[in-house]
Chain A
């Protein structure tokens, strides 16, 4: 069985500050891990994914995530927040990469001007 925990349903950061969204997973097999973003009135868009290659994964819009097996974590970061980053972010896990995704509860990111 797989599960995902996202700590913090709401996160607020100042424009230009570091963004850190936390994700911990549980998986009985080496997982594929994903971060999706949902902007207002849009569908889910893939930010980045971990597929057992490099542990530091770079995604779109300046985001990156680091896979830490010892901590079962896949936290999402961005060095400097921009107003356009305001959205809801979802961490997800899949056992084989092209199977059903198990999502976390999501984190709504607010950027303070």
Chain B
């Protein structure tokens, strides 16, 4: 069974540009989470989908971040326009019950 897959693995963009990160959860998992780790600090929660609905988006830093999960399958996280402080590793996780399975993360560098 395939695990949680994230694309791209690395992205380097200039300040002001737009970047879209994608997460493919484990098939059948209703819960999908986005997390971010900035500069070696703690991994912080961004938001939680249950199927296609946003259950909790309290961790989204500002309105430059837009997450979608069309059809309750894969999810995208768009940053527009990107700022230097958005650099970090973005993790996606999915779960059906109690255990969350994480993807490898997307390392975003804004220069």
Q: Give me the interface of A with B, judged by CB distance under 8 Å.
A: 4, 9, 32, 36, 41-46, 49, 51, 90, 92, 97-106
Contact = CB atoms under 8 A, between A and B. Distances in A.
Contact of A42 (B42, B44, B95, B104): B104
B80 to A, nearest CB: 24
Interface residues of B, number: 26
Contacts of B99: 46, 49
A43 to B, nearest CB: 4
B98 A51 contact: yes
Interface in B20-72: 31, 33, 35, 40-45, 48, 56, 59
B43 A43 contact: no
Interface of B: 3-4, 31, 33, 35, 40-45, 48, 56, 59, 91, 93, 95, 97-105
B108 to A, nearest CB: 16
A83 B33 CA distance: 32
B102 A36 contact: yes
A90 B43 contact: yes
Q: Which of B42, B59, B101 has the most CB of A within 10 A?
A: B42
Contacts of B35: 101, 103
A41 B105 CA distance: 9
Contacts of A32: 98
A103 B43 contact: yes
Contacts of B104: 41-43
B106 to A, nearest CB: 11
Contacts of B41: 105
30 contacts: A4-B42, A42-B104, A43-B91, A43-B102, A43-B104, A44-B91, A44-B102, A45-B102, A46-B99, A46-B100, A46-B101, A49-B98, A90-B43, A98-B31, A98-B98, A99-B48, A100-B33, A100-B45, A100-B48, A100-B56, A100-B59, A101-B33, A101-B35, A101-B100, A103-B42, A103-B43, A104-B42, A105-B42, A106-B42, A106-B43
